[in-house]
Amino acid sequence: METTTETSFFNRDLSWLKFNERILMEAERNTVPLLERIKFLSIFSSNLDEFYRVRMPVLLALEKLSNKEDNDIKIDDNLLNIANQLISGQQQRYGVVLKSDIIPQLKENKINLIYGQPFPPQIQKSVSRYFLSQVMAFLQPVHINEDTNFFPANNELYFLVTLKKNNETEAIILNIPSNQLPRFYKVETGEETFIVFLDDIVRFHLDRIFPEGEVTGCYSFKITRDAEIDLKDEYSGSLSEQLEKQLLKRDSGLATRFLHQPGIPANVFELLKKLFNLKKANRIEGGQYHNLKDFMGFPVNLPKLSNQNWPKICNTDVIEGSLTEAIYKNDIIVHTPYQSYDSVLRFFNEAAIDEEVREIYVTLYRVASDSKIVNALISAAKNGKKVTVLVELKARFDEANNIKWAKKMKEVGVDIIYSVTALKVHAKVALVKRQTGDRMHYSGLFATGNFNESTAAFYTDHILMTANKEMLREVELLFIFLAKRVKPTSADLIKFNHLLVAQFNLQQVFLELIDREIEYANQGKPSGITIKMNNLEEKVLINKLYEASQAGVKIDMIVRSIGRLVPGVKGMSENIKVTRIVDRYLEHGRVFIFHNLGKNDVYLGSADWMNRNIYRRIEVCFPIYNEQIKQEIMDIVEIQKQDNVQAVCIDEHMDNIPVKTGGVLVSSQHDIYELLKNK
């Protein structure tokens, strides 16, 4: 095989920004319903915030390192500048599509989004009434000077107000209470609807807030800080207590961005820089409004401006008796969000009250804020069942919610396992043991996404319900190991014959499956690999795919966001095609298909091919043995491979290239829904 160099791999952070560009492209498309385009603007903003909170600290640190290396990846000296240029260009496009396209189209539909304009006279009384009765109570102005003891919260909205009083200028920080109140206020007058920002309501009343002086300036800003949490293995005591302490430090982390409205006086900025530790932050002059991820709560709901509703399909409604008994007879698969998540809730609910159920085991990574699944587990424990739950407290931005639920479960006697601090448990598995007479029966769930009914409404995932005792016995062995709270010392510590488990056999088995296709290709036999995942980074597996391409194996990849593999390069990857699908639902399922001379080995699972998934997490991928389900998965992936509406191809320059539309148009999410609806 030809030796690969760093030019054989895209940079992971630039690739991530290119994914966010694909989100922006969807907001720019006139064929997308207007309110859905606004949601894509929200997603773009939310993604960019996360980039500044999680990845920008890495880029800032790498710029300072003399050897410019990160996990053996050589860093371009100009990487930070390239990232900033990409972000700047995308933000300019964002502003153009919002102000020149979306806002005028809203107005055509009698929806007036007040954006950088004075309030029309007909809504001013209503706005003032709302300010006086609702907004004013949440305002907390802070006068700024050298002795000020105040630190702006991470990623929250503020005004810097300059006030002239007794011939002296004062600087005041004023919060915009968007965490306590909706970001938008709606006023309806006859046939017209006006939508105003909370920011503008506060700005409109500055004279009332500061009657003792003359307001000479008002500038919106926010500070974004490093959101990573540092947990050391040597921590003693309760992991949840340590984590709660770390969460309190998030607001004082390294500042990576100071985003502000233009015009802040130089002397005032120097004071802010000193007080709020902004020396290393990217200073970015933005528009008047920040945190436009809040567009997700845009207070207009018009069916004609939204996606057509696809009613959920419930494929277990026909089961009148016990769902568990049905699983004993045949495997069942649920494809969310096309099919209803009620089937998964029913599985846990039945287990909670079934007198014959003795034990329940489940991993929880991101828990819904009002989790029906956790409530079922609490009921199960109260009903005398042994319930063991692995709660991953280190799920980024969900730590506090997971801690809350872990405490509630512990109070009623659920056995709570926390993962070892340096190893996240990202697997999505559940096991129920049910005793009938002298026999112990196993049933369980294997999923590509979290056991979370909220995200299941818009994440495309696959949940396998099975009674395959050999697979489920391996799940039981995994839980026994996880309860010890130690790192695996050897890949052979547990012998997994069916499941692929990161830290044990996952990477090795995937390499062997690719090698088998290489061998078939070398023998002149049919070969092929199809892989769908969210992120592709890990170099050992990418290099193996390059080797397969060079052997003549045709490889189709659907990679939603980060992708370091460079496709279509002669002599390296000319047999690899990479596409990216962005549509109404977030593509989230991981699927691995190996041709195997037409027998098609199919695996689903929780694992992307990222360094973190392969080397720092417990992941579970699982085989599909039921031939009917296997064909169903392959049919779904085949539709996605044919998508020429929502898919783009990734070229050798990392660009999002629209797929050429010759012949029949295929919009994969629509066609998958139709496939499942007509089953």
d(CA 45, CA 290): 9
Active site residue 143: no
Residues 652/655/656/660 CA torsion (nearest 10 deg): -50
CA separation for the pair 454, 459 (Å, rounded): 9
Could you give the residue ranges of the DSSP H alpha helices within 354-436? Answer: 372-382, 399-411
Q: 86 phi and psi, to 5 degrees?
A: -60, -45
Query: Token match 């056999």: residue?
Result: 505
d(CA 637, CA 657): 20
φ/ψ of residue 116, rounded to 5: 70, 25
Q: In 3-state terms, what secondary structure has residue 192? A: strand
Catalytic residue among 260, 290, 335, 426: 426
Q: Who contacts 347 (Cβ-Cβ below 8 Å, separation ≥6)?
A: 323, 324, 430, 432, 443, 445, 465
Residues contacting 505, CB < 8 A, separation 6+: 491, 496
Q: How far apart (Å, rounded) are the C-alpha atoms in residues 607 and 448?
A: 8
- The 10 Å CB-count burial string (b at 16+, else e) for 12-36 is bbbbbbbbbbbbbbbbbeeebbbbb
Cα–Cα nearest to 447, from 531, 377, 343, 554: 343
CA distance 196 to 224: 25
In 208-326 the beta strands, taken as DSSP E runs, fall at 214-225, 255-260, 282-285
Burial class (CB in 10 A: 0-12, 13-18, 19+), 571: exposed
Give the three-state DSSP class for 90: helix
Neighbours of 551 (CB within 10 A): 18
Cβ contact 208:124 at 8 Å: no
Distance (Å, whole) CA 424 – CA 392? 7
Residue 182 CB neighbours (<10 A): 12
Active site residues: 426
